Structure 1
């Protein structure tokens, strides 16, 4: 029969299958085991790598944060260094280093003192005439400190921008400091300024010498050439601060030799700062000139201010140019043409005619005779050209205060060594004279 044969074959095949299956299962299990172990190991490595990566990212972030702060500090430092360097070479910014001194332009609050009338009376010996400097201004001394006390009407105080002093005034060494004020119930009030030991520039140039208790009546005093150059530079630096550093820029509107004051070392300070609103209207009839010194103010007024009432830093530059002309010639801004007082000579017109003539001898003759030959004529020509530029009719042709500082700084640096280091002077000694000799 064929059936048993068939079963025999099937049996053989089945046996073969039964015999082989356990081995295959064992191999498959081993393979899966190894795959599982490999996968587990890979997973462990991935997990470990992920942990390491997280830690590294965290550390990197912390370091980046620290670095960012450090970079910020470095940026601030670099900015400070760069700004300082820029200021040294740029005259449009604050002159932070002048004559070897660093001028601090850090904002600081400067509150004005409030004085009582009793304190001011005590300081001036009840406004004794022996303490009178000039007009309504008295010399006072309170708590061992000298001061200049100016009597004014109470309405004037309302026109003063005291915010310049109370809020963010960076005190500049070439601006006369307002120390305090005194308000009364009456029509008069008082302003208290730092005391300028050597009076006003006008006094020195035009013979006023108003601080009577400081000078010998017979003393023939004048400013040397080196002193004049330094004074011109000081005033320019004060204007540079007002025009280029203050924000918004401040226009003084009353620059003149009478408002420039000299300390004991003949350093110059611009007075009446913050009082632009108090400037009297002197433009009503600029052509009617009298020999009264009060009328000299007309000679400082820029044409655009007279004609249109335009107020800009350029009008200060014009007035400054007139001060330069005073320093060069020793003459007043406006002077009478002849002994009879007929006609008048304006310094601004005189300097224009001198340059038109191109006669060097005329310029030399025009220079202040008190200087003699003790000055550099080349430097004088440079100053004269600068003054001529300052009093240009067109405001756009006038130099900025920064440009003026740049030119004058070079002239001061070129002064002879002995004059550069200290001011020798025909103006010293300044001693008190008996009051009855005045």
Structure 2
């Protein structure tokens, strides 16, 4: 029991105590939400995060093998069942009103041999389960989900999306997806024949799947396309389901699969990511409401003291930043938001933003190195702190644009956002610290020129291509980076590329092809990396990102800046024109950085230089798409044909909206 004394000091004491409690709850609310992302699988790196259940489960050839991985027609393939689950559970619900929303996307390949011919079956399923176990004898029609004894029982507490390749009496056909609740007899099914999708075709095919659940509307949606194609606008399957009625509060995510007799197939998962709401935030808010209702006199006193405190501060000129508070509240409740930091902690971590901690400076502000200490000062974490220019009128818009784009991006070749701060007009974003700095420093600074050997350069370009493919095709929205250049490509401790600086990035709606339609027209980016059509249309598209990537490819291979002229036989050339001239003369390998000597792979160098030219094609629609670029670098697709003479630049008429898919554009052509 608290006695309130009519004394100013006592009131202030109570006020301070309650404020401390509120601040503590706010710190708890700022916990990082759960997510994970596997861009391919490696047993050494990923094995500890996964639980392999069943004798045939494994990681092989960079993929999860849910059933035994062999192309031999031996008995070990028949009547198999298995599960591979993420080892850590997630909180699925607090009540009917408070349920976790989640987004998961993955790439599957259901392989059936054609020599000798296999009858594909039985199927694969994306699974939510209460524990890390599997029912006995769940082979064949049971898909590793249930068995003849427990099928349909509420105690199963499983929900799954099945990809079924064998027809049972309750199935529409042998090529469908379904929503399964505690049973292999689906609550809802969709035949894939209507969408020209064959789960297990004769030619092995990768399919990308998105599974979304909205914890507010209680709607489960499933999208599916051939890998490399953009996400469809409409889901294949959409069904209302209250997950709280079916799944355990703490549940696990993963995959299950089975084979039959004689039905056999290889059930593979090549990539997988999951992002789910952190219900701890909502739980803390609930307790905060309960605490507020317990002591009305204390709350009243708190309000009075708060008003007096703010009034005195305002009279002293301190001023409460109500806008920061309102905006901060909105940001905290964005799905997937990382941790919020206090400005005083970042000030301490960067030595009061001392110039000795400065990593770089751009049009949006300054980036500093920071060192965060834990509470006991036993360990420290290096971070990069981006401090936006306070004097810029647009700084808040720039801050919000970058934050709303990157806070949900999850890819191993993107710089990870680890936190944010918006306090009293001070705007800061926190990223993983990249110890090897930016790519341009290694290309041009004398002290770093010996570090980028050929293998590292090739791996850097492969990483950037993978990140760009993710932004254009695999993320929920199509994201255009708009500022691809060497200084925005950072290198981790192993010289792996991390694409960063999303200050200019924009997310495009599926039916739109440029952010100019969103009222964001302009010619953003850096000279030498900006596609020619952007100067005419004032718009950026995925194709203009590809142009920027082409400039980066040539820059990395040649160690020459796209924005600097090259003197060749008394003539000045841009980098792309110089490489195109060498290609025309049959001497394209002469463009390779001479500092490499002979320490490079000739075929790889020619392939990348030709790819750089293809991406730099003056006509946007003739550039390769990012899914093709990724496959070309991976070696699974040949480089496109590059003409010996650089084509003329054609731009659309001013009265015609720019679109890479519109073949009827009125155009004006300028010869090179």
Please report the TM-score for the alignment, with normalisation by the length of structure 1.
0.63
Cα distance change of structure 1 residues 409 and 343 upon mapping to structure 2, 3 Å threshold: same
Aligned 1:248-287 pairs, distance under 5 A: 248-273=477-502, 275-276=504-505, 283=523
Equivalent residue for 2:186, pick from 65, 72, 86: 72
Q: Deviations over 1:208-251 (max 9, x none)?
A: 7xxxxxxxx5x653311111111111101111011111233111
Question: Is the CA contact 1:91–1:406 (under 8 Å) kept in the aligned structure 2?
Answer: no
Distance in 2 of aligned mates of 1:308 and 1:85 = 36
Q: Deviations over 1:338-378 (max 9, x none)?
A: 69xx98532122222222222x2xx2332101211011112
Question: Is the CA contact 1:336–1:343 (under 8 Å) kept in the aligned structure 2?
Answer: no
Partner of 1:86: 207
Distance in 2 of aligned mates of 1:194 and 1:283 = 29
Question: Is the CA contact 1:179–1:194 (under 8 Å) kept in the aligned structure 2?
Answer: yes
Distance in 2 of aligned mates of 1:194 and 1:84 = 35
Count residues with an aligned counterpart. 318
Distance in 2 of aligned mates of 1:123 and 1:141 = 5
Cα distance change of structure 1 residues 244 and 91 upon mapping to structure 2, 3 Å threshold: same
Distance in 2 of aligned mates of 1:388 and 1:336 = 17
Partner of 1:142: 372
Cα distance change of structure 1 residues 403 and 73 upon mapping to structure 2, 3 Å threshold: farther
Question: Is the CA contact 2:480–2:506 (under 8 Å) kept in the aligned structure 1?
Answer: no
Please report the TM-score for the alignment, with normalisation by the length of structure 2.
0.42
Aligned 1:51-200 pairs, distance under 5 A: 69-72=183-186, 85-87=206-208, 90-92=227-229, 103-108=271-276, 109-135=335-361, 136-143=366-373, 144-154=380-390, 155-159=394-398, 160-161=400-401, 162-165=403-406, 169-186=408-425, 188-200=426-438
Question: Does 343-352 or 327-336 show the bigger shift?
Answer: 343-352
Question: Is the CA contact 1:334–1:345 (under 8 Å) kept in the aligned structure 2?
Answer: no
Aligned 1:38-437 pairs, distance under 5 A: 69-72=183-186, 85-87=206-208, 90-92=227-229, 103-108=271-276, 109-135=335-361, 136-143=366-373, 144-154=380-390, 155-159=394-398, 160-161=400-401, 162-165=403-406, 169-186=408-425, 188-207=426-445, 220-273=449-502, 275-276=504-505, 283=523, 297-337=526-566, 345-358=573-586, 360=587, 363-410=588-635
Question: Is the CA contact 1:282–1:298 (under 8 Å) kept in the aligned structure 2?
Answer: no
Question: Is the CA contact 2:589–2:606 (under 8 Å) kept in the aligned structure 1?
Answer: no
Please state whether the residue corresponding to 1:331 is helix, strand or coil.
coil
Q: Deviations over 1:119-154 (max 9, x none)?
A: 111111222233222232211111322110122124
Distance in 2 of aligned mates of 1:67 and 1:281 = 48
Deviation of 1:275 (Å): 3.8
Q: Deviations over 1:267-310 (max 9, x none)?
A: 111102364269999959xxxxxxxxxxx920000011111113
Please state whether the residue corresponding to 2:207 is helix, strand or coil.
helix
Distance in 2 of aligned mates of 1:409 and 1:329 = 20
Distance in 2 of aligned mates of 1:199 and 1:101 = 34
Please state whether the residue corresponding to 2:560 is helix, strand or coil.
coil
Partner of 2:72: none
Cα distance change of structure 1 residues 337 and 225 upon mapping to structure 2, 3 Å threshold: closer
Unaligned runs of 5+ in 2: 1-152, 154-168, 172-179, 210-225, 232-267, 277-334, 374-379, 508-514, 638-672
Distance in 2 of aligned mates of 1:74 and 1:281 = 44
Deviation of 1:317 (Å): 0.2
Cα distance change of structure 1 residues 119 and 343 upon mapping to structure 2, 3 Å threshold: farther
Question: Is the CA contact 2:566–2:575 (under 8 Å) kept in the aligned structure 1?
Answer: no
Could you say which structure has the larger radius of gyration? 1
Distance in 2 of aligned mates of 1:247 and 1:230 = 26
Question: Is the CA contact 2:565–2:575 (under 8 Å) kept in the aligned structure 1?
Answer: no
Distance in 1 of aligned mates of 2:385 and 2:181 = 56
Question: Is the CA contact 2:385–2:430 (under 8 Å) kept in the aligned structure 1?
Answer: yes
Please state whether the residue corresponding to 2:274 is helix, strand or coil.
coil
Cα distance change of structure 1 residues 262 and 247 upon mapping to structure 2, 3 Å threshold: same
Pick the structure with more strand per residue. 2
Q: RMSD of aligned C-alpha atoms? A: 4.0
Distance in 1 of aligned mates of 2:475 and 2:358 = 34
Deviation of 1:401 (Å): 0.7
